[in-house]
Structure 1
Amino acid sequence: MTFALRQTLDADWARLAQLSGQPQAGRRWVHHFSPRFAPVSLIRHAHALHCAGWGRLAKLVQLANFVVFGLEVPAALAIGPGLVIAHTQGTVLGAAAIGSDVTIFHQVTLGAAAIDVAFTPALRPSVEDGVTLSVGAKVLGGVRLGRGCVVGANAVVLADVPAGSLAVGVPARIVARDEPAQAA
């Protein structure tokens, strides 16, 4: 478990360093205090504790992430390596699953379209690899965000977004990546 956690954190740090233009130095313990990396580290530790059967301790780490960073992420949520959360405030990641190399900006919400206390995965979004969720994006219901798609700022996604596409607007519509998004 510790080895997988370490590898995942190394992948998260490497992707953050790459996106921020920093040299590819190895991850050190002080990096856990970076405001861009600390919340991701807490997500990873909460998930590792959950998987190891330490549910109450996992919830405590999850709560610390919420209190300190304003980031709500269930400890049970499986997230692939290479996660980057540019800013955390007001972000809720209540997805069924999140793939690798996903970039999430602040005030993003992934969740069920109606109250789902039981946390039913079929009622929640699935995010594939390489997806970018821009500031304020809302993705609701059992939708799938395809590999490499981008959800524009403040878009409200209520239907599947195909791989490699751009979803913009309220409700979101799909536009070609080279086509300028126009106000509705």
Structure 2
Amino acid sequence: MTLKEFFLLLRSDLVRLDDPLHQRDDAKVNYLNLLNPRFFPVFFIRLARYCHKKKLLYPFAVFFTWLNFFIFGVECTPRCEIGYGLLLPHTSGTVIGAAEIGHNVTIFQGVTLGAVSLDMHFDVTTRPVIRNGVIVGAGAKVLGGITIDEFSKIGANSVVLNSIPANCTVVGIPGKVVVSNA
């Protein structure tokens, strides 16, 4: 990741704070959002990822990951590749251990994205892939080597253990598709 890419990601995250439903195309940045408490956890996630990709800065990746955990309650591995426009409206108790997260994804508080079993070596085959435009509701758990396809919605407190097609709404334990707009 280059420094330019890092700043472009941050810019997209700032724009997303003003337009959470991504309805406008004018994409103007409100720099007052630099002071928005919803931006800081995303900033630390981006900073940890940037440092993780630079060999000499790797210790800082660990530092920013822990700082984010202690201040905002977000545990996010710097190994997870996250697209532009990440939105974390509330952060407490969020665990992001996915293999990959797409663009314009919204993740609410108490969400866990990770492996089904103990995986301390970050095997991407045991971790979920979240595609573009997905919304993950508060308290939801998305576990295992599955894919949540584009523009799907995971209901609050759902437990998803199987891949979900695009444009679906999933609720329950275990998560079941209740609306499919595919």
TM-score, length-normalised on structure 2?
A: 0.91
Give the alignment partner of residue 35 of structure 2, picking from 33, 50, 60: 33
Aligned partner of 1:6 in structure 2 is: 7
Tell me the alpha carbon deviations over residues 140-173 of structure 1, each in whole angstroms, 9 at most, x when there is no partner: 1111000000000100000001100011000000
Which deviates more, 31-40 or 126-135? 31-40
Residue 121 of structure 1 corresponds to 124
Q: Report if aligned partners of 2:140, 2:158 keep a CA contact under 8 Å in 1.
A: yes
* AA partner of residue 147 (structure 2): R
Do the aligned partners of 1:17 and 1:24 also contact (CA within 8 Å) in 2?
Answer: no
- Shift of the 130–24 alpha-carbon distance from structure 1 to 2, 3 Å rule, reads closer
Question: Aligned to 2:147, which of 128, 141, 144?
Answer: 144
Per the TM alignment, residue 101 of structure 1 is displaced from its structure 2 partner at its CA by: 0.4
Report runs of 4+ in structure 1 exceeding 6 Å deviation.
none
SS of corresponding position for 1:9: helix
Distance 2:101 2:27 in 1: 25
Whole-Å Cα distance in 2 between the matches of residues 24 and 77 of structure 1? Answer: 25
Letter matched to residue 157 of structure 2: N
Letter in 1 for 2:47: H
Distance 1:24 1:76 in 2: 28
Matches within 5 A, 1:64-143: 64-143=67-146
Partner-residue secondary structure (3-state), 1:176:
strand
Instruction: Indicate the percent of aligned positions where both proteins have the same amino acid.
Output: 38
Following superposition, the deviation at residue 16 of structure 1 comes to 1.3
SS of 2:103's partner is coil
Cα separation, 1, equivalents of 2:180 and 2:19: 23
Alignment: residue pair count: 177
Measured in 1, the distance between the counterparts of 2:130 and 2:145 equals: 10
What is the RMSD computed on CA atoms of the aligned residues?
1.9
Number of the residue aligned with 1:182: none
- Residue 55 of structure 1: how far off its partner (Å): 1.2
Q: 2:174 aligns with which of 164, 171, 174?
A: 171
Secondary structure of 1:64 counterpart: helix
The aligned runs of 1:33-72 (5 Å cut-off) are: 33-53=35-55, 54-72=57-75
What is the SS of the residue equivalent to 2:142?
strand
Structure 1 length as normaliser, TM-score? 0.91
The gaps in structure 2 that reach 5 residues or longer are none
Distance apart, 1:4 and its partner CA: 0.8
Rounded Cα–Cα distance in structure 1 between residues aligned with 2:69 and 2:63? 10
